[in-house]
């Protein structure tokens, strides 16, 4: 067998996949996932629109489509989605994606040669980290506080490392749940223009807001075309459909389209058409209104239980939306070491935070919790159990240190 490509040298598959092989048991309360709640999917409406679409012109939907996207989908995204965000453009600014993960890959393909540098939030989405590794990229983590990326750290990293790209999830970030403030969004756009960096603004959670005021995208402050906005319907309608889009400067979208020709020719017509139906029938907003109270209750249940059961030495974020809460234990405690005990003895799962850093040692004492897939009762119970485990670990460390 010929040797595998060098790009695979540093990549071993999703790091948490191995952990999840421990999670067959339904008795285990899992905060480890990241899936939308099963009960959030608008099955009946999807079915209704599908029927109508096949009746209208089934053959057109089953035929090859354009790489750029299904025309009604492109139009609906521009008119019914982006306009509401204060973003205007033509079909040349939009590319349909097979999920926004594909957008990350296509921007990398468009810009990155081996050895090029990309800046990422520390911590960040691990699927993105894996992709950046596949492009043999130099990945530089930039520190965050509770308001997202720290601007002085970002500018310093740009000057020092001269990156081509910055990857940023500004709203209810995965894994931290943090949201970049309005002022910082402006600053990111300004720094990108000043130092000629392309920003991948990955914003899949922005519609899942349970409190506070919606913020404009970084893209809306972009005067030079350096920001490419990625979004998808995975968190608002259905991840199984695999539909998203990239919105950006025409020349970048054109190169991404060329790369997409080789990646999968085009995104499935039917799933694009269904998403378009939700937009043109004004059905997305009411659907979200029906889903958000359910998520909001689950998030509040988790945060209240954390206030009640977690040791005071444990700090955590208090997100206004999204699917994740992020926590930190005292220095010296490695959450990966606690994972096996959590699952096997306490029957509760979380994700050790180190997987979300390009260098695991940066976040060895952190963890991510997801609240979307469990009932309120199980959330409270699971957090109580985790609280016990964390207290035990802190006590043990205190004793060890004596």
Among positions 155-214, residues that touch its own copies (CB under 8 A) are 164-165, 196-198
Six-digit token string for 56: 């209208």
Smallest distance from its own copies to CB 131, Å = 4
Smallest distance from its own copies to CB 204, Å = 12
Decide: is 23 part of the binding site for its own copies (CB under 8 A): no
Decide: is 127 part of the binding site for its own copies (CB under 8 A): yes
CA distance 276 to 271: 9
Among positions 232-291, residues that touch its own copies (CB under 8 A) are 234, 237-242, 249, 251-252, 254-255, 257-259, 261-271
Decide: is 112 part of the binding site for its own copies (CB under 8 A): yes
Reduced to 3 states, what is the DSSP secondary structure of residue 120? strand
Decide: is 215 part of the binding site for its own copies (CB under 8 A): no
The residue among 243 and 333 lying less far from its own copies, judged by its C-beta, is: 243
The residue among 109 and 184 lying less far from its own copies, judged by its C-beta, is: 109
- Applying CB under 8 A, among 32, 76, 82, 105 the residue interacting with its own copies is 105
CA atoms within 13 A on the CB side of 243: 20
- Applying CB under 8 A, among 30, 93, 124, 131 the residue interacting with its own copies is 131
The residue among 29 and 165 lying less far from its own copies, judged by its C-beta, is: 165
Smallest distance from its own copies to CB 50, Å = 6
The residue among 107 and 329 lying less far from its own copies, judged by its C-beta, is: 107
Strand stretches in 83-135, DSSP E: 94-97, 117-122
Decide: is 65 part of the binding site for its own copies (CB under 8 A): yes
Decide: is 92 part of the binding site for its own copies (CB under 8 A): no
Q: Site size for its own copies, by CB under 8 A?
A: 82
Six-digit token string for 390: 């964390």
The residue among 165 and 386 lying less far from its own copies, judged by its C-beta, is: 165
For the chain, give percent helix, strand, coil, nearest 5. Answer: 50, 15, 35
Write out the H or E segment, with its range, that includes residue 75: helix 71-76
The residue among 229 and 314 lying less far from its own copies, judged by its C-beta, is: 229
Decide: is 12 part of the binding site for its own copies (CB under 8 A): yes
Among positions 134-153, residues that touch its own copies (CB under 8 A) are 134
The residue among 127 and 330 lying less far from its own copies, judged by its C-beta, is: 127
Decide: is 25 part of the binding site for its own copies (CB under 8 A): no
> Which residues does 19 contact at the CB level (< 8 Å), separation at least 6?
32, 339, 349, 351, 352
CA distance 318 to 298: 13
Smallest distance from its own copies to CB 58, Å = 3
Six-digit token string for 139: 């990945």
The residue among 131 and 365 lying less far from its own copies, judged by its C-beta, is: 131
Nearest to 223 by CA among 203, 194, 245, 246: 194
Smallest distance from its own copies to CB 1, Å = 7
Smallest distance from its own copies to CB 96, Å = 12
321: which DSSP letter? B
CA distance 16 to 343: 14
**DSSP line for 5-74:** PGGGTT--S-HHHHHHTT---TTSEE----PPPGGG--HHHHHHHHHHHHHHHHHHHHS---TT--HHHH
CA distance 42 to 319: 25
Decide: is 111 part of the binding site for its own copies (CB under 8 A): yes
Among positions 32-61, residues that touch its own copies (CB under 8 A) are 35-36, 38-39, 41, 43-44, 46-47, 50-51, 54-55, 58-61
The residue among 146 and 261 lying less far from its own copies, judged by its C-beta, is: 261
CA distance 149 to 185: 10
């Amino acid at each position: 067998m010929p040797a595998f490509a060098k790009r695979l040298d540093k990549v071993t598959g999703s790091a948490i996949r191995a952990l999840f092989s421990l999670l067959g048991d339904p008795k285990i309360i899992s905060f480890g996932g990241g899936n939308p709640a099963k009960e959030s999917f608008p099955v009946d409406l999807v079915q209704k629109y599908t029927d109508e679409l096949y009746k209208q012109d089934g053959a057109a939907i089953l035929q090859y489509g354009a790489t750029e996207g299904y025309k009604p989908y492109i139009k609906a995204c521009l008119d019914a989605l982006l306009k509401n965000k204060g973003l205007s453009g033509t079909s040349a600014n939009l590319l349909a994606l097979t999920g926004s993960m594909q957008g990350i890959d296509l921007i990398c393909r468009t810009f990155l040669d081996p050895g090029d540098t990309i800046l990422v939030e520390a911590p960040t989405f691990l699927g993105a980290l894996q992709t950046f590794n596949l492009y043999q990229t130099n990945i530089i983590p930039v520190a965050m506080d509770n308001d997202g990326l720290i601007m002085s750290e970002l500018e310093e990293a740009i000057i020092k490392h001269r990156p081509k790209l910055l990857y940023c999830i500004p709203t209810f970030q995965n894994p931290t749940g943090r949201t970049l403030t309005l002022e910082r969004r402006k600053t990111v756009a300004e720094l990108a223009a000043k130092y000629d960096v392309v920003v991948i603004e990955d914003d899949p959670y922005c519609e899942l807001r349970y409190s506070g005021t919606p913020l404009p995208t970084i893209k809306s402050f972009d005067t030079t075309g350096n920001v490419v906005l990625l979004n998808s319907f995975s968190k608002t309608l259905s991840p199984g459909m695999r539909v998203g889009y990239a919105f950006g400067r025409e020349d970048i979208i054109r190169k991404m389209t060329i790369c997409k020709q080789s990646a999968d020719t085009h995104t499935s017509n039917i799933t694009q058409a269904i998403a378009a139906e939700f937009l043109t029938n004004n059905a997305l907003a009411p659907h979200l209104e029906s889903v958000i109270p359910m998520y909001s209750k689950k998030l509040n249940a988790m945060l209240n239980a954390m206030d009640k059961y977690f040791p005071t030495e444990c700090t955590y974020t208090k997100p206004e939306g999204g699917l994740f809460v992020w926590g930190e234990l005292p220095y010296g405690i490695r959450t990966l070491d606690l994972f096996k005990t959590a699952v096997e003895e306490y029957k509760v799962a979380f994700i050790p935070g180190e997987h979300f850093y390009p260098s695991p040692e940066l976040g060895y004492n952190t963890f991510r919790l997801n609240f979307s897939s469990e009932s309120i009762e199980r959330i409270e119970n699971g957090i109580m159990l985790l609280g016990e485990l964390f207290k035990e670990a802190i006590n043990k460390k205190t004793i060890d240190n004596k």
